[in-house]
Structure 1
Amino acid sequence: MKLSELQAPFSRHKIISYARGHITAVEKNKDLQQVRGNLYKGKNDGDHNGQVTCRLYVFYEDLSIGMDIGSIYYPDEKNVDEIISRVYPALLEGPRAFIEALDQAVAAEQRVTNAEIALARYIAPDKVPTYIAARQRHIDLSEERRAAERAKRDAEDAAYCEKHNAETQSTIDAALATIRSGGTLKNDDITFYHSRYDCRAYRIINHLARQYGVEFPLKVQGWINKRLLQVTVHNGKMTQYRYTGGKSNTFMDYMDQLLAAICQRESNGGAA
């Protein structure tokens, strides 16, 4: 049988649900239709996407109280047996089975919800303090696990950044060694990591200019980013350079300024 074929009338019942924010359990009066046994459904409604939904409930007639247990989409297309198979059996078996299942959850340090605690007040009020304490203990343990996971991720991220930034620094040191002793310096990208997912990449020539306080015009920086492939240095001077596309008429002047600044710093014995 499909839910759309149910013949039971809707009637008003008190159920436990959640206030806005889905933390505080509250009691509401809802129109419910019996599906089978302790399983009930609410009236069809639409969500913000226009999809048809309805809420499902367990309702214990002897106690005149029920609890919201979730929603389903396109309920009229669903088969009753299919819906029942999705519901935790202890909820459908009745109040005693519900409490036994709650006790098992507490023993296993599993999550206990505010709605379940509110329903337990009608069935086993003497156990409610135990359930409240268990809920808080689960929250505390979950936060401890999350904190440990965050600390682990932070440590892994820090190690990742340290490793890659050390590689970047090695590339810079090698570039400076090439400038000091002479040779060909490729205008490769270097990357600095502030976190695993926050990094900045620069062409090494532009980075050295910033590091040594030599101001390259934006146009020259752009040309270096897009066109410059490598420079050859001998005795602190650039002897040639390779590029693609159009030539820059001012790059050589600024590159000479950079090489002079690096050599001056080196001759003064200062670190960059």
Structure 2
Amino acid sequence: MVISTFNKAKTIVKSLDSATGQSIIPVFSNTLVGNYPGQIVSVNAFVKNLKAHAKISSLAPVKLPNFQLEDSETDKLYKTLDIEWGSARKQLNLYISDNQTDWYQVGAISLLNPSGYPYRIYNLMDLITDNLAIELGENGRIGVQIQDVGYGALQTGDLVTIHGSYVQEIATDSNATIQSTIDFEKLVEVESTVILGANPLRKYLAITNNGNNSIYLNLGDSATLGKGLYLTPAGSFDLDKPYFGSISAISTSDISSVSGVECS
């Protein structure tokens, strides 16, 4: 087993406005995009930063708590909570999922119109983890929902932007044993023809020109006469190095054909 690891840093950004409604909106999904050499062993994601920028102009401004000199720390806390959760507000719920159908709520924040400030910024990471990153496995998702808690959903002029970043870590086994083989036979014409599509799991490939005319092979989508790999009738080509893209061919004159085997 030869394990290779590939890391991709990506951006999360999603805007919520008056057209959003109260549905749960996915803002991140740990799905694999692109081709990687070898057999996929694992696909993990690490959300490093997740914030919400909220501008709520449809509500009356909320003033800061009125602390008195004799207030204890507990008194101050209760006054702050009363302002945060007892004022006119919207609510942003945060969800996670490990599949494509179910959502599980993990937290909520109160969206206010703060007096003296045009917006507020919330750290959504704190609702899920105390660590430096949120670790999500394959098919892991994060979603948000605007909930009407008595003061309506987002109105015209309201805007919530979810933004952040994550690193996707893909582990592959480039020396995995062959799991399947596919025999194929394709006609090759005087115009370029794709004889095999891309295959990220390809481990071995053998092609034989079993027609009566010479052909040119190209490791790509478009073959050209006089360029690439030249195969005379009965000539063959095998590929045991990592190449996962499409393969095309073109005949030098009249129709020819190729046959072969692709192993994954």
TM-score bucket of the superposed structures, by smaller chain: under 0.3
- Kindly indicate which of the two structures has a greater share of residues assigned to strand: 2
| TM-score, structure 2 normalization | 0.23
| TM-score, structure 1 normalization | 0.22
Larger radius of gyration: 1
